[in-house]
Structure 1
Amino acid sequence: MKAIILVAACAAIVGFSYGMYSPIVPVFAKEQLAADFSQVGVIGMANFLPYMLAPFFVGMMLDRTNKAFLLSAGISLNVFAIFMLSQAQSVPETVVLRGLAGVAHALFWPSSEVLVSTSTTLDKRVKWISIFIAAWIAGFMTGPLLGKVILDFFDHRVLFQLSAAAISFAIVPALLLIRHGRPIRGEESHRQMASLGDIKREFASKPVVSAVILYYAITFGVTLAIYPAYMKDASVSDQNIEILFFAFGAARFAVLPLVQKIARHGRAALAMAVIVTAAGMAISFAFSSILSFAIALMLLGIGTSIFYPVTFNLVTKDAPVEKMGSRLGIYGALFGSGWTAGPVAVGLSSDAFGPGSPYLAFFIIGALLASAIALKKSS
């Protein structure tokens, strides 16, 4: 219980910092660095690429070392990467710094997941992971409000500096987790990284979950890495972008009390999350007002809140505790591949076919995926 509270405290602080600055990074790239959508996509890809590659190694490390050390390392690296972003003068510099922030997140997030997973029983896992996510979302929801106030008086670079200062406070609860993060007996013997055969077996045994995770990762990555630039292109101000991301976070937070009940429906819940997300993408394509962006982001927030706890439970429910890190590493890498591919693909297609075209594609893909899930469930 104490361990989960400390992990939740870390999540709230880190989420708050992310909420302050991350919606503005694509806007900063376009306005301050004269980046086009393709370059904004590359910056987003750099941020998410480490999360595609690192989970295999991080998962193995989590099974045999103190999880709190990795958690603290992720937070410390984030402080450095966010602060240095305030000094960036070019797209290549920003790409490197977003890559460092991605490495930091690849250390922070799996460490938090495994600490929650190994500190609770299977029947309580959805409840506690929901509390962990609630803390993260509460931070991410309120961060943009302070970000908006800061942007009323200062520029993007000061916002990044203050965000780095905010995230540094998470080191305190992370260090207090050291005694809770020691490897569980049996973890030390599980030292081999997952093989290609293990990965294929995992994805083959859970094709629906794998497909949903990939769709969720791509759309979520695009929402964070490209969508703010898309709104800016539609003449939405920086301050209103922050407020719209508050609405995104508020929708995520509002759904969380229902997640345990929704999770009982398994694949039906996944289909619901996909179709809600697809609806948000359709609105994003068809309309470009502040109201339509607010509705779209709220739908995306609802879908996200359903996606994560349900897929997390389906992935971990049959995993032995000594292999929890490796199992989460495999699916974390799948999530990371979607995060990585989504922004760069959408950036390129936005420049080639128009800024709204990717959102129409996401609507069509989501509708087809939700239909496939429903048909598979009924067959």
Structure 2
Amino acid sequence: MPREAVRPLRFLYATVFLTSTGFGAATFLLPVFAEELGASYVAFGVIGTVGSAAYMAMTLVSGALLDRFDRVRLYLAFSVLGAATVLLFRIAAGVGDLVVLRGLLGVVSAMFFVTASTLVADASPPGALTRSIGRYNLSWIAGFIAGPFLGGLISDALGFPALFAILAALIAGSVAIIRAGLIPRGKPSDGPARRGFDLTALRGLYAAYLIILPYSVILGIYMAILPGQMRMLGITPSIIGLLLTMTNGVRGLGFLSVERFIDWGERRSLGLASCLMGAALLAVAFSRSTSDFIAPLAMFGLSGGILTPLVQDNIARRSPRHALGTAMGVHESVYGVGMCVGPVVGGAVAEAFQPATLYLGLAALALLILPLSRGLQGAAAHE
């Protein structure tokens, strides 16, 4: 890869890591914080759904903005808003406060992740796109590994208000890197003339978006309900953080091997991910202790580590550069749809029946990815 292309990408990876550490800790440990404030399964679902609904709406808005305005300066503005939002969690005093703040976190998360993925795809030479996307995914998953683990330790030792202040400071570090390393160079925002929101860029991408939908429902429940459920089972915040860290670490191994999975075959790899995910959720249904959760969460992490970069790479390769914001915005919006529906329905099912019933249903949903992957089209040249 040319040296002039590597430098802005390295700055991007650093900012993605720092901000993802902040967002990852806040998102994954929020159900634990909510449980300490008296939240029920239904409240877990409402909090998660509000955040995902805001995320879903803002991904489309962000995508349209990125195809019309300077992408790096938008990235800077969105990161500033992210730091401010995480800092506001320090003043939360009840479940109602968390609902509002989770909505704000959904807004800034959507802005950040759509912009970051678009910038990486835009800055990468076509021949190195798969590698660049893999490193981008490693950057944010590294943050999601460090965030919950360190966040669990910090919240145990200092409390949640101190944790949110530290997380906001990390995201502020990302803001400094963007301002110092990306804005002066004008890269990677320079590029083709912007054309605005271009729906024609979505042709041929519908199968990829459909594959994301069942996974996003499952992911929404994993993020919004499972940590709180583990807390109700008597598992401490630090151990919950460690389990989430382990899951994301295994997920990162999948990201690291994305080129091998693409060579093995996209459909075959997605079939493997579907089966692993179904088996993992079946095991979660009967997990009651820390040791029970280890193997199924590792399997779930690996399945997501296979699916996420494969679908993202397919979308990036089949999208023209001028419409990358639109394509990536819709990609993240589909995640928002599933993560909006999943927590509220999942919370209601867990409350009305029992958590085991919820995860048995999710195991069946995971297997739906297998037939959906049959419609995935091969990657086209990046225009």
- Fold shared by both chains (TM-score > 0.5): yes
Deviations for 1:223-266, whole angstroms, at most 9, x for unmatched residues?
21111011112221111101111111211222333111102311
Q: Find the counterpart in structure 1 of residue 3 from structure 2.
A: none
Distance 1:78 1:6 in 2: 18
Q: Find the counterpart in structure 1 of residue 211 from structure 2.
A: 212
Letter in 2 for 1:81: T
Q: Find the counterpart in structure 2 of residue 244 from structure 1.
A: 243
Shift of 1:70: 1.9
Cα–Cα, structure 1 residues 129 and 234, in superposed 2: closer, same or farther, change >3 Å?
A: same
Three-state SS of the structure 1 residue aligned to 2:124 is coil
Cα–Cα, structure 1 residues 327 and 235, in superposed 2: closer, same or farther, change >3 Å?
A: same
Cα–Cα, structure 1 residues 194 and 253, in superposed 2: closer, same or farther, change >3 Å?
A: same
Q: 1:101 aligns with which of 100, 105, 110?
A: 105
1:168 aligns with 2:172: yes
Three-state SS of the structure 2 residue aligned to 1:142 is helix
Q: Find the counterpart in structure 2 of residue 85 from structure 1.
A: 89
Distance 1:80 1:376 in 2: 40
Residues 285-324 of structure 1: pairs in structure 2 closer than 5 A: 285-324=285-324
Distance 1:66 1:241 in 2: 40
Cα–Cα, structure 1 residues 368 and 16, in superposed 2: closer, same or farther, change >3 Å?
A: closer
Distance 1:376 1:52 in 2: 23
Shift of 1:306: 1.3
Q: Find the counterpart in structure 2 of residue 180 from structure 1.
A: 187
Shift of 1:374: 6.1
Distance 2:316 2:160 in 1: 40
Letter in 1 for 2:276: V
Distance 1:156 1:144 in 2: 12
Contact 1:221-1:338 at 8 Å conserved across structures: yes
1:266 aligns with 2:266: yes
Cα–Cα, structure 1 residues 211 and 163, in superposed 2: closer, same or farther, change >3 Å?
A: same
Shift of 1:102: 1.0
Contact 1:65-1:183 at 8 Å conserved across structures: no
Three-state SS of the structure 1 residue aligned to 2:192 is coil
Q: Which moved more, 1:5-14 or 1:134-143?
A: 134-143
1:353 aligns with 2:353: yes
Letter in 2 for 1:185: P
Distance 2:243 2:41 in 1: 20
Distance 1:41 1:317 in 2: 35
Deviations for 1:293-329, whole angstroms, at most 9, x for unmatched residues?
1222211211121122110111122211111111222
Cα–Cα, structure 1 residues 368 and 334, in superposed 2: closer, same or farther, change >3 Å?
A: closer
Cα–Cα, structure 1 residues 225 and 10, in superposed 2: closer, same or farther, change >3 Å?
A: same
Cα–Cα, structure 1 residues 184 and 306, in superposed 2: closer, same or farther, change >3 Å?
A: same
Q: Find the counterpart in structure 2 of residue 26 from structure 1.
A: 31
Task: With the length of structure 1 as denominator, give the TM-score of the two structures.
Answer: 0.91
Q: Find the counterpart in structure 2 of residue 49 from structure 1.
A: 53
Q: Find the counterpart in structure 2 of residue 235 from structure 1.
A: 234
Q: Find the counterpart in structure 2 of residue 284 from structure 1.
A: 284
Deviations for 1:267-302, whole angstroms, at most 9, x for unmatched residues?
222222222122221111022221221222211211
Letter in 2 for 1:218: V
Q: Which runs of 5+ in 1 are unaligned?
A: none
Shift of 1:371: 5.0
1:7 aligns with 2:6: no
Distance 2:219 2:9 in 1: 25
Shift of 1:97: 0.9
Letter in 1 for 2:280: G
Cα–Cα, structure 1 residues 91 and 152, in superposed 2: closer, same or farther, change >3 Å?
A: closer
Task: With the length of structure 2 as denominator, give the TM-score of the two structures.
Answer: 0.90
Three-state SS of the structure 1 residue aligned to 2:123 is coil
1:146 aligns with 2:150: yes
Cα–Cα, structure 1 residues 249 and 220, in superposed 2: closer, same or farther, change >3 Å?
A: same
Three-state SS of the structure 1 residue aligned to 2:337 is helix
Distance 1:270 1:169 in 2: 36
Distance 1:4 1:152 in 2: 35
